Every structure is written in C-alpha cells, then in structure tokens.
A and B are shown apart, each in its own frame.
Chain A
Amino acid sequence: MISLLGVLLVRILEGMFVLGLFGSTLVLLITFVEDAGTLLGREDSHHS
C-alpha cells in the first residue's frame, strides 16, 4: 500500500515536472522574443 502510494506520488511529481517544463518552454520562447525587443529598445506592450 505504502509502495503504491509512493509510486502514485512519484507519478504526480513527474506529471507536474513534465507539464511544468512544457509550459516553461513556452514562457521561455515568448519572453525570448520580448527580450529581443526590449534589448533593441522597443517598448513592450504586455501590460495588464
């Protein structure tokens, strides 16, 4: 039972990590484009 719970916990953590990495990659790509604009002196328009 404990072993099963352990495996379940590991799978949840793995799921969080993989999904998180996917989303983080999107953040990385989008901010990379924004960063290029910022460094080149263009004002960003991503305000709330």
Chain B
Amino acid sequence: MSTPLQPVPSAGKRVRIVVATSVMLTFISYWRAAAIVLNDLASSAFYACGIAEQAVGKSAPWFIVGVMLFSFTVRAVYVESCSMFVRGGVYRVVKEALGGTLAKLSVSALMFDYVLTGPISGVSAGQYIVGLLNEVMVTADAHGWIPRAVHNIFHGTPQFDVNWTSVIFALAVTMYYWWENIKGIHESSEKALWVMQITTVMVVALLGWSAFTLFKVGFQHVPLPTPGNLHFSNESLGFLHHSFPDQSLAQKFGILGIMIAFGHSVLAMSGEESLAQVNRELAHPKLTNLKRAAVVIALYSFIFTGLTALLAVMLIPDAVRVSVYKDNLIAGLAMYMYGPELLRLLFRGFVVVVGFLILSGAVNTAIIGSNGVLNRVSEDGVLSDWFRFPHRKYGTSFRIINMIVALQVFTIVASRGNVYALGEAYAFGVIWSFAFKGLAMLVLRFKYKGERGWKVPVNFRIGKYEIPFGMASITMVLLATALINLFTKSVATISGIAFSLVFFVIFTASEFVNRKKHALSQKHMNDQFQLLQRDTVERESLNIRRGNILVPVRDYNTLTHLRWALEKFNIQDQDVVVMSARVSRFGSAAYDLSPEQIFSDYEQTLFTRAVSVAESFGKKVSLLVVPAGDVWTAIVQTANNLESSAVVIGESSKMSPEEQAFALGQAWEALPEPKRQFVLQVVHPDGHLETFRIGPHTPTMKDEDVLLLHRLWLSITREPGLENVHHHEILTEALTRFAREYGAIERDEILKELKRTGIATRIPGAVPNPKPAPLVRKEGGDGSFPEHES
C-alpha cells in the first residue's frame, strides 16, 4: 500500500517521515570482501607463532595449524549469524539471546579485542622495521661502511632499542590514523585488494623459496603436539604457575596441557569477526558470496599463517629463533633461506614492507572497528548519545575516536613494546568475544524463529526439538579455551577484566541515563513525527513527482542550501525532498538498524530545523531518511530512484565544489543501470552557486568545432547520393571511427595528443585524482535551473 509523503503539518498534525530500512551501498565482490577481512586476519601471521612458541615451546606451529583449522568452524558461526535477518546492533542481538548483563560483557570483550588490535599491530610493525634497520647496520658495519667515529660513539655497531623504537613507531602510526579517522577517510576495498595482492606475491615467494631451501639444506623436526612436548614458560602458566611450579601440569592433565597451548595460539584467528562487518556490502547473491569470501579467507589464512609457522621452526635454527626473531619471525625466515646474503636481505626488506602495509592497515581497521562497534552500542541506547555527537567540521564521531585512540596510546606505552604481553592480552579479547558470539548463536537457535539463510551443520532432531550439535561443539571449544585462558594468562586476565569492568560500568550507567532520556525523546518523537517504514526508496510509492529537487541535509546549523532551494523552486511544479543519510561505515555493519535507530535524536533535531525552515517559506517539503554506507552513494541512489532533476547541496568544509561533484560522479558511475542524469547545484554560504551535470550529457562544443562540422557537412552533401545527410550522422561516423582507432593500435598516439593539447586536465575532477574522471560537467557560474519533467 502506498502512503504519500506529507507536507509540513498544521498545528496538531505530526510530520510524516519516510525511513528507508535497506542500506544504500556500493556493493563489492567476494574477492574484495575477502581482501578486507584478510587485511586484519592475515596480519596475525606476523606475530602469532612467535608469541605461541614463547608460551608453549617448539611444537607451537602445530597448535597454530590446529587453530587455523578450527577457524573454518568459527567462520561457519559468523556465516550463520550474517544469514539471520535481524535489525539492531550487536548489543541488541546478544541481549536478545543472553540478557543485558552478558550482552554488555560481550560488547566489552569485543571492544578489548578491537582496541588491542591497534597496539599489537603497530608495535609488531615497528619490531619488523627496527629489526631490519639493526640488521642492515650489522651488515654495513661488517663491510666497514659505518664510519669509525660513529662506531666509537655507540661503542660498537649502532643499534636502535627495538622495543622503545617500536613504541614510537606504533604511536606515530596510531596518531596518523587517528587524524585520518577524525577527517573521515573512506575505507577503500581497492586498497585492501592491492595490499593483499602484494602480500600474495610475498607468500608465494616465501613458500616457493622455503620449499627450495628445504630441498637444499634440509630441516629441523617440529615436535608433535603431545603433552610431553609442551614446555610452558612461567608466564604462560599464569596463575597455575604457583600450583604447578615444576611443569607437572602437562603430565598430570594431558588434555589440559593441550588446551592451554591451544589457548596461547588462538590469536592466530583474530580478525575473523571482520567477516560480519563486510557482509552487508557483498553483492548479490549475498549468502553465496559470503560463503565464497569465507572459504577464500579461511584457506588463505590457513596457508599463510599455518604454513609460515611450520616453516619458521623447520628453517630457523633454535639458537636464534626465539632469542633474535621471536617478534619478527617471518623476517627471520627470510634470513634463513638458501641463497646469497644480499638477496636474503632484500627479501627481508620486502617482508618488512608487506608487514608494514598489512599491520599498519590493521591499526586503521582497529580504530574503524572500535568506532563502529561503539557507534552501534550508542545507537542501541547503551552508550550515551554524547559520544556519538558529530565533529563540527568533518561530521565524524570524534569523541568515540578520541577515546579509542587514547586507550590505544595508553596500551602502547604501557606495553613498552613487548609484543608477547600485548599478544597475551589480545588473545583474551579474541577468545572471549568469539565465545560470547558462539554462545549467543547457540541460544538463538532456540529463541530466534525468523529467517535464517544457512545453519552450521550438524543438526538432528529429538522429538520436536532440533539439536544444534555442530554449533554446540564449536561453542564448547571456545568456552573451554576462554575459561582456561582466565587461569593461564594472568596479565591478560587482570587487564582484560579491568578493561571489561570499566566498559561494563560505563555501559550500565549510560543505559540507565539513556532509558529516562529515551522515554522523553520517544514521547517527543511520537508527538512530533510519524515514521513510515519503507524497505527501499521508490518514487511512486512515496508519491513524489518525477523531476523533483533533492536536498540532502546533515548539519542543522548549515541549512542555507535548503533555504536557497525553497526560495528558487516553485513547489507547484516540483516537489522538494529533504533527505538525511544515516551513514554507518565499515565496522558497524554486522546488522542493519531498526527504523527508530535510523531516525535518532540527531535526526529529530535536524528535521525539526528543516521543517521550521520550510514553514518560514510557507512551502511543503517531503522528508526522507536513508541508511547508507557513504553519503555520496545515498545521494545518487536516492536521486536515481526518485528520478530527481536536481540535487542541491551546501558547500562542504572539507571538499571544494569540484571535489564534491567528482565524488558524486564516482558514486553515479558505480550505480547499476538504469540510471539517470541530474544536475548538482552547490550553494555557497553567501548564496553563490556552482552547477555541475552528473551523468552523460551533450558536451559543450567550441565554435570552431561546430564550424568544422558544418564545413564537413557542406562538403559531404555535395557528393551524389549524400544530399540528405545530417550533421549528427557525420558526428556519429566520426566518433565511431575514433572509437575504433582508440581501441586499436593508435590508442597511445591519441592519448599523447590529448595530453599535449591539455584536454585531460580540463575535465573537472581529473585534477585531484588521476583515475578516469566520472561523467561530470561544470556549467556556467550562476547555473541554470533544471527543467521540470512532467
């Protein structure tokens, strides 16, 4: 049933607002989705085995392999979770299953996991870089390339303090990404794919060269993962160290020893949770693509992390593996390949570059992920809205970002560059967030009766009950490991519980305050607004005329462009649609929001202001809220669906009008067919206007080009049989020939000529970005009004 959008109400009438619930996204292939997740998951290969070997001894690689095999089943839990059609954030979903207290603890553990991803990745990247620099110094000194004076100052070969230099590096990377996130950088799947392509080159080279080395020089045996082969350090026994000082534990409780070792290796599968974040953006068929991405991720990480761990122990001598290379094991592997030293050093340099790319990317993912989770928790009403207040200039949730980065900076400094301590704490967050996830999914098997696209096998029926044996099994392993980790990771347990308690208290207090505030705000909303839920934005069902004017709004303090649109356009001829995009970026994408969450307090204030502006002009406006992955996609998809003739936006504080038009043009290019062109009008605060055409359009022709065309026409029509040829037919023939030549061997020649005449640089949008410019054309200074199509 269609319900038309309503005008600004008279007194006593509520404003109707259409809330679209399907998120407007640019969809990505499963390869890109896999690349995004692998940027996080594969980064653990750089430190997981080194940490595990310090904890359990030389048989650690088998446990890493075991964890990577087990990660196939954890991935299945996430696939089932993503295939459930539920709305609300992670807190609401876990609360549904486990109740409020456990849900808050679950989110706290997830936060601990996300927050620690940054410090461990940053410090680990620093360890790889400093390790290489020190190695280069040693090699240079051995060749006499370091001046004697420098040698004397350092009383030997100059060496950086590995841990503290790594701390400085990690702080620098964290601060860099802090600022990028404050500015609101868009997470690019293109970049993730590129990083994974380079990583793949490194993995292939590493495995190939390792195989050759094994063949040429042989290898050391990796002891089987039996209780007798486990050698726990005092640190790795944690609180149990006092009860079992002589390491008799492994012999007394054989399986317990295996469990402890398994618990020290679980961080190898950290990053699996990112799978849920990319699910929403996967292209159709979503479930099949999700499963494909999950298989690619699991296979890749098994080969990279699992095999690298085995090879490190097989090839790096015992004497140096832990003492020298414990924190940069893959770099050590590069140094023990068969071949000339210079080549090995160069390969180590390549490993460090790849490590830097993937680990520093994980620092960014940690900030984005934490920000996303806390935003969703805030949307679920558990964290005060104060945290989510947008940055005045950039529109980002800067308070949450500041809090996360402050915690990360504290963690980095407190760790003093100790990767082992960070890894132990990180493993605590990883295993507990997985355990809560498994438990919630297990309970939801009995509680949730809605749509579910796929189930973890093995399931069988007893009477009318279905027994989720597979899900229960995975959850049992996760829970048993998490519980045993409580006893064996003393520092992690203390820091993890302290962190979780702090967040738990913040969440509980915020929820208490929010409950009262929410009741008031809900009453206000019910008095003022009526939310009409729509799955998608469709012009006919919203009763909006074709050729309407779309006015996106974000900041309630800057509505100049709305005033301009209401002043200039005659609403008798064209509807004015005021739209707000509720942007939730990557990292908050596990579940879609409910309509009440999409239309939150901020949107209430925003639309109240927009309505009063419209009232001041005595004009009707239609109101629309759409959830989206990014604002540009939301605008072009809405404009396309509503068949808008113009989009009117205000000048951005961080982008020039040309850059805004370029971004919109790029989003337009990504739209599936059919798509329509429209006019973009950017209104400056002083009322000055800039107009761009988005989409294919008749190009502006120079007078001399028109003259040339005309001369050709005159010449051609003199030929017998061609008297009736039209100008456009000549243009068609010319363009067809041009396209043929461009597609053939003369392409380079044409491009060279275009560059020489400077045509490429005159395309708006081509200046800030060397990629092919989208179909954007700038109009004259004052801009012409788009014509109304009836």
Contacts and interface: CB of A to CB of B under 8 A. Distances in A.
Interface of A: 10, 13-14, 16-24, 26-28, 30-32, 34-35, 38-39, 43-44, 46-48
A13 B256 CA distance: 8
B476 to A, nearest CB: 3
A30 to B, nearest CB: 4
B620 to A, nearest CB: 46
Contact of A10 (B253, B288, B292): B253
Interface stretch (B69-77, B312-320, B719-727): B69-77
Looking at chain A's contact residues, the main secondary structure is: helix
Contact of B288 (A20, A21, A43): A43
Contacts of A14: 253, 255-256, 259, 480
A24 B480 contact: no
Contact of A17 (B255, B288, B291): B255
B288 A44 contact: yes
A2 to B, nearest CB: 11
Given A26-B458, A39-B292, A20 B480 contact: yes
A22 B73 contact: no
Contacts of B478: 20
Contact of A23 (B69, B452, B473): B473
Max chain A CB contacts within 10 Å: which of B70, B253, B472, B473? B473
A38 B292 contact: yes
Nearest to A27: B470
Contacts of B454: 44, 46-48
Interface of B: 69-70, 72-73, 76, 253, 255-256, 258-259, 262, 288, 291-292, 295, 452-458, 469-470, 472-481, 483-484
18 contacts: A13-B259, A13-B480, A13-B483, A14-B480, A17-B259, A17-B262, A17-B480, A21-B477, A24-B70, A24-B73, A26-B457, A26-B469, A26-B470, A27-B473, A28-B69, A31-B72, A34-B291, A38-B291
Contacts of A48: 452-455
A35 B295 CA distance: 6
B253 A24 contact: no
A23 B457 CA distance: 10
A32 B452 CA distance: 20
B477 A17 contact: yes
B677 to A, nearest CB: 36
A38 B477 CA distance: 26
A38 to B, nearest CB: 5
Given A35-B291, A38-B288, A22 B72 contact: no
Given A14-B259, A44-B291, A23 B476 contact: yes
Nearest to A35: B295
B473 A20 contact: yes
Contact of B476 (A16, A32, A44): A16
B458 A30 contact: yes
Given A27-B73, A28-B72, A34-B457, 13 more contacts: A10-B253, A13-B259, A20-B474, A20-B476, A20-B478, A20-B480, A24-B70, A24-B470, A26-B473, A28-B69, A31-B72, A43-B288, A46-B457
B481 A31 contact: no
A46 B477 contact: no
A16 B479 contact: yes
7 tightest Cβ-Cβ pairs between the two chains A and B: A23-B473, A20-B476, A20-B477, A27-B470, A16-B480, A17-B480, A14-B255
Nearest to B72: A28
B295 A38 contact: yes
A17 B259 CA distance: 8
Nearest to A14: B255
Nearest to B483: A13
Contacts of A20: 472-478, 480
Contacts of B484: 13
A46 B452 CA distance: 11
Nearest to B253: A10
A39 B256 CA distance: 37
A31 B474 CA distance: 13
B473 A19 contact: yes
Contacts of A24: 70, 73, 470, 473-474, 477
Contacts of B259: 13-14, 17
Contact of A31 (B457, B472, B483): B457
A7 B473 CA distance: 22
A10 B474 contact: no
Nearest to A32: B72
A39 B292 CA distance: 6
B31 to A, nearest CB: 12
B412 to A, nearest CB: 34
A9 B496 CA distance: 22
Contacts of B76: 27, 31
Contacts of B455: 46, 48
B477 A27 contact: no
Max chain B CB contacts within 10 Å: which of A19, A27, A28, A38? A27
Given A23-B470, A27-B73, A38-B292, A17 B458 contact: no
Contacts of A27: 73, 76, 456-458, 470, 473-474
